[in-house]
Chains A and B, each alone.
Chain A
Amino acid sequence: DTAVSQTPKYLVTQMGNDKSIKCEQNLGHDTMYWYKQDSKKFLKIMFSYNNKELIINETVPNRFSPKSPDKAHLNLHINSLELGDSAVYFCASSQEQRGGLETQYFGPGTRLLVL
């Protein structure tokens, strides 16, 4: 019944490795997001996809590449991992509704630790 799910929940890896984080939503939403929450707890947008098309791409290193195979999935691939990539990564999804309401539903987060 999980609305937005992420795998893995925890990821510990060495510097220089390449890793992927997967996100799936079963809400039928057409927009998905990746946010990063650093050690100071600031939560910042990285990417946003609408109907599999990239609509937001903040100043994120090009080592980070989102991939949306379909509307229900938005995966995040990270090349050449660095110590500073250690953070919690949250996936979210949303669907525009009337009255300006657009609730974003967040996944449980993926805790990435780069050693």
Chain B
Amino acid sequence: DAKTTQPPSMDCAEGRAANLPCNHSTISGNEYVYWYRQIHSQGPQYIIHGLKNNETNEMASLIITEDRKSSTLILPHATLRDTAVYYCIVRRETGYALNFGKGTSLLVTP
């Protein structure tokens, strides 16, 4: 699976949009981009995934560049409960493990 690069930490004011970038320049055509997050002391939680097109669900939006070498997770109106470590993961096969990197520690401040 392709390697990903994320900034180690970011801050965001409550109510503002949080934009979390991820670089995956070695991504292959059949690899998906997944985002998970881990709130302190809890198990990781799925957020969203995509292949080529931008995706949106009730939690977030995922913007994937046309060349697919990078993506951005957008939390449109961050709340204090969104403070967590966010992991960008690229993977090919289903049924296989997630390769968690170091992720981005997002701190949402009042």
Contact = CB atoms under 8 A, between A and B. Distances in A.
Contacts of A101: 49
Contact of B42 (A44, A100, A109): A109
Among the interface residues B42, B43, B44, which one has the most CB atoms of the partner chain A within 10 A?
Answer: B43
Contact of A43 (B42, B46, B100): B100
A104 B98 contact: yes
Contact of A56 (B36, B38, B46, B96): B96
B46 A104 contact: yes
B95 A108 contact: no
A109 B41 CA distance: 8
B95 A102 contact: yes
A67 B40 CA distance: 28
B32 A48 contact: no
Interface stretch (A11-19, A70-78, A79-87, A89-97): A89-97
A86 B36 CA distance: 24
Given A41-B85, A44-B100, A96 B95 contact: yes
A90 B102 contact: no
Contact of B43 (A41, A48, A108): A108
Given A41-B85, A48-B96, A55-B95, A108 B42 contact: yes
Given A43-B100, A100-B32, A50 B46 contact: no
A107 interface: yes
Nearest to B50: A100
A90 B97 CA distance: 12
A64 interface: no
26 contacts: A4-B43, A35-B97, A41-B85, A43-B38, A43-B44, A43-B100, A45-B97, A45-B98, A45-B99, A48-B96, A55-B95, A56-B97, A58-B97, A92-B43, A92-B44, A94-B94, A96-B94, A96-B95, A100-B49, A102-B94, A102-B95, A103-B46, A105-B46, A108-B43, A109-B41, A109-B42
Interface of A: 4, 31, 33, 35, 41-45, 48, 50, 55-56, 58, 90, 92, 94, 96, 100-109
